[in-house]
Amino acid sequence: MSAPDRSRPVCVLVGAPGSGKTTVGRALAEALGVEFRDTDADIEQMAGKPIPEIFIDEGEAHFRTLERAAVAAALAGCPGVLALGGGAVLAEETRAALVGHTVVHLSVELSDAVKRVGLGAGRPLLAINPRATLKQLMDQRRPLYAEVATATVATDGRTPEEIAAEIAALLKG
């Protein structure tokens, strides 16, 4: 059996805000016994402040610049499960960098996504009118998640553990 490649993620998770990338990613990493990394957390560490503060102080464009760099670094240096921010796939550079990786799109319908993000706390783009904004984001991004994904796993009405188990089975082939 060949040794696992320590320089690339075993799985990259993409999907809309509230699809469960962070929650399922943690459960999957634990099930596989590998590290979990989340580019949103990397960006906060890099910037030294929470994401909402980056949006307030420097704006979304600056956040997206930090995000492109965080994704590139994580793709080259995370041997475990990697969760991307919900909007990371907006960058053409990031979509290109994902080619050749195992990328799982966690799909979610609007009704479950709205319930999960609630009033959008900690998610600056959803601070106003979360339901309408989420619908708009999801409509815009659905084709982008599909473009980068090597597999899609539905999350509606399922627990994070069930979803993580399905992904673990997929990864085993």
Ligand X SMILES: Nc1ncnc2c1ncn2[C@@H]1O[C@H](COP(=O)(O)OP(=O)(O)OP(=O)(O)O)[C@@H](O)[C@H]1O
Ligand Y SMILES: O=C(O)C1=C[C@@H](O)[C@@H](O)[C@H](O)C1
Judged by CB under 6 A, the stretch of 41-49, 90-98, 131-139, 158-166 that binds ligand X is 158-166
Q: How far is the CB of 140 from ligand Y (least distance, A)?
A: 10
Q: Does 15 bind ligand Y (CB under 6 A)?
A: no
Residue 86: which of 102, 73, 105 has the closest Cα?
105
Nearer to Mg ion, 88 or 97 (CB): 88
Residue from the set 23, 39, 94, 107 that interacts with ligand X by CB under 6 A: 23
Three-state SS string across 87-110, please? CHHHCHHHHHHCCCCCEEEEECCH
Cα–Cα distance between 50 and 32 in angstroms, integer? 29
Instruction: State yes or no: 18 annotated in a binding site.
Output: yes
Q: Kindly identify the residues of this chain, within the stretch 77-116, that bind ligand Y according to CB under 6 A.
A: 85-87
Cα-atom radius of gyration of the chain, to the nearest Å?
15
Q: Where are the alpha helices (DSSP H) in the chain?
A: 21-32, 39-47, 51-57, 60-77, 92-97, 110-117, 130-148, 160-172
Q: Does 22 bind Mg ion (CB under 5 A)?
A: yes
What residue numbers does the annotated binding site cover?
18-23, 40, 64, 86, 123, 141, 158
What is the contact surface with ligand X in residues (CB under 6 A)? 15, 17-23, 40, 85-86, 116, 123, 155, 158-160, 163
